[in-house]
Structure 1
Amino acid sequence: MSDAATMPAPAQATAGRTPLLSVRGVKTYYGNIIALKGVDLDVHEGEIVTMIGANGAGKSTLMMTIFGNPRCRQGTITYGGRDITQMPTHEIARLGIAQSPEGRRIFPRMTVFENLQMGASIKDFTHFDEDLERVCTMFPRLKERLNQRGGTLSGGEQQMLAIARALMSRPRLLLLDEPSLGLAPLVVKQIFNVIRELNERDGMTVFLVEQNAYHALKLAHRGYVMVTGSITLQGTGKELLENPQVRAAYLEGGAH
């Protein structure tokens, strides 16, 4: 493959730089059951980093742990050089991290416009009109449905809304949890194109958790593979796409 030749610069020179997000030795439990078994990973400014793995591997638990719910019992999470391990979720959001969670979790009884207002309220409304125009340009379907209740949207439109709501807070780091789950291929393509555009045009840093390994690794600068709460492989997106273990497990009729 020749993807590496056209890969944006941030993927090529992370050695020696302080990561924007750093996870070290993180262990998370549900009761007495350990879900994350000492996870280490880095996300550098300007990168798209993906984590792939089978359903139940712990990917979403890691995403939620970064955001403070649940809390890790051991290890540290730093963002922009600041320890956020024990910080309340609302304070983490104000630091410039936004999350589009698994299952979308929009406010179904609120209109699309009101959902977007909720996203903007994390910071302030200084740039609301500008940001509203921006997300409606990215997702024209939302512009047509601004006065429609979120719960009446299609699954693809709800996913667009979840991402747009996250973007309304002008994040420095965007966490995306399973954005393609249950969506039609055309909608998946559109959403991945938006993620690429956010990174290439705006320089947004993205940490993406995704079961669709092929699309995620094609998009990402770097990737990690999680198996039952542990990181088992890491490398560039290109390296992982060509890795025999990854191909066998995630790309050739294995877990998706």
Structure 2
Amino acid sequence: MAVPASEPVLAVRGVHTYYGAIHALKGVDIDIMDGEIVSLIGANGAGKSTLMMTICGNPQARHGNVIYRGEDITRVPTHEIMRKGIAQSPEGRRIFPRMTVRENLQMGAGITDMTHFESDLERMYTLFPRLKDRQGQRGGTLSGGEQQMLAIARALMSRPKLLLLDEPSLGLAPLIVRQIFNAIRDLNQSEGLTVFLVEQNAYHALKLAHRGYVMVNGKISITGTGKELLASPEIQAAYLEGGAH
């Protein structure tokens, strides 16, 4: 079902999430529109990855709702959420280290169906040429940057309508970070892919984003366009001083 232009592809409404007694998310509201790149920035421990995992149903929100394309998915199991057109490249990459690059990509494609596997494989190899050179190599032997490319490509193999990226630049050299962010921009511009990006590198995240949110202690504190947030003295002082430009 197509989402009307005025309706968010993803709407998070009043979400509270707990880890045991720890109140990690405290009434979070966000909207992601079709074709947008939306970035969520904040300090380590602010709750950014918890929000990403809550959208994916693990952990589930204790209060509030997660609405995807008009459907409440708050209580839907994670594997069913993935089949609805959402894919995640998680923090820490979590590729299958003993599988080859090609086998990892097969696992991504297997979430939906394998009908377009060969053509999608070539798309990923065009997007990340390094993976084509390494296609027979085990995932665990790749460099950190190559593993991150593989994690993103594996998510894209399911042909998602919404791509969730959790800390894609973490621990990577600046050149590799630029390559990955350029690939995300290309996918958005050429295919209209909707992207929700959780990222500690505020400069890269906001430069890429149409809109951004800032999370502090489990709450959204500021929102605006990427340009507005980049230009904000408050954001510059808190997140961009000495940051990687």
Structure 2 length-normalised TM: 0.97
**Deviation digits for residues 65-101 of structure 1, max 9, x if unmatched?**
0000011100000000000000000000000000000
- 90, 97, 109: which one pairs with 2:98? 109
- 12, 30, 37: which one pairs with 1:41? 30
Q: After TM superposition, give the deviation of residue 254 of structure 1 in Å.
A: 7.6
**Aligned position for 1:229:** 218
**Aligned position for 1:215:** 204
**Aligned position for 1:134:** 123
One-letter amino acid matched to 1:32: A
**Deviation digits for residues 171-228 of structure 1, max 9, x if unmatched?**
0000000000000000000000000000000000000000000011010000000001
> SS at 2:23's partner residue?
strand
Q: Distance in 1 between matches of 2:230 and 2:118?
A: 40
Q: Distance in 2 between matches of 1:246 and 1:255?
A: 14
Q: After TM superposition, give the deviation of residue 252 of structure 1 in Å.
A: 1.0
**Aligned position for 2:21:** 32
**Structure 2 residue runs without a partner (length 5+):** none
Root-mean-square deviation (CA, aligned residues, Å) is 1.3
Percent of pairs with identical residues:
76
| Equivalences for residues 18-97 of structure 1 within 5 A | 18-97=7-86
Q: Distance in 2 between matches of 1:141 and 1:255?
A: 24
**Structure 1 residue runs without a partner (length 5+):** 1-15
- 129, 153, 158: which one pairs with 1:169? 158
Q: After TM superposition, give the deviation of residue 253 of structure 1 in Å.
A: 3.5
Q: After TM superposition, give the deviation of residue 244 of structure 1 in Å.
A: 1.2
> Aligned pair 1:147/2:136, yes or no?
yes
Q: Distance in 1 between matches of 2:184 and 2:242?
A: 26
One-letter amino acid matched to 1:192: F
The answer to whether the Cα contact below 8 Å between 1:110 and 1:150 also exists between their aligned partners in 2 is: yes
Q: Distance in 1 between matches of 2:243 and 2:198?
A: 18
Structure 1 length-normalised TM: 0.93
One-letter amino acid matched to 1:239: E
- 206, 230, 241: which one pairs with 2:195? 206
The answer to whether the Cα contact below 8 Å between 1:248 and 1:254 also exists between their aligned partners in 2 is: no
Q: Distance in 2 between matches of 1:35 and 1:49?
A: 21
Q: Distance in 2 between matches of 1:74 and 1:245?
A: 30
Aligned residues: 241
Q: 1:255–1:248: structure 2 CA closer, same or farther, 3 Å change rule?
A: farther
The answer to whether the Cα contact below 8 Å between 1:249 and 1:255 also exists between their aligned partners in 2 is: no
Q: Distance in 1 between matches of 2:101 and 2:45?
A: 31
> SS at 2:223's partner residue?
strand
**Deviation digits for residues 94-144 of structure 1, max 9, x if unmatched?**
000000000000000111111000000000000000100000001011001
The answer to whether the Cα contact below 8 Å between 2:201 and 2:243 also exists between their aligned partners in 1 is: no
Q: 1:123–1:241: structure 2 CA closer, same or farther, 3 Å change rule?
A: same
**Aligned position for 1:252:** 241
Q: Distance in 2 between matches of 1:110 and 1:133?
A: 19
One-letter amino acid matched to 1:121: G
One-letter amino acid matched to 2:239: Y
> Aligned pair 1:160/2:149, yes or no?
yes
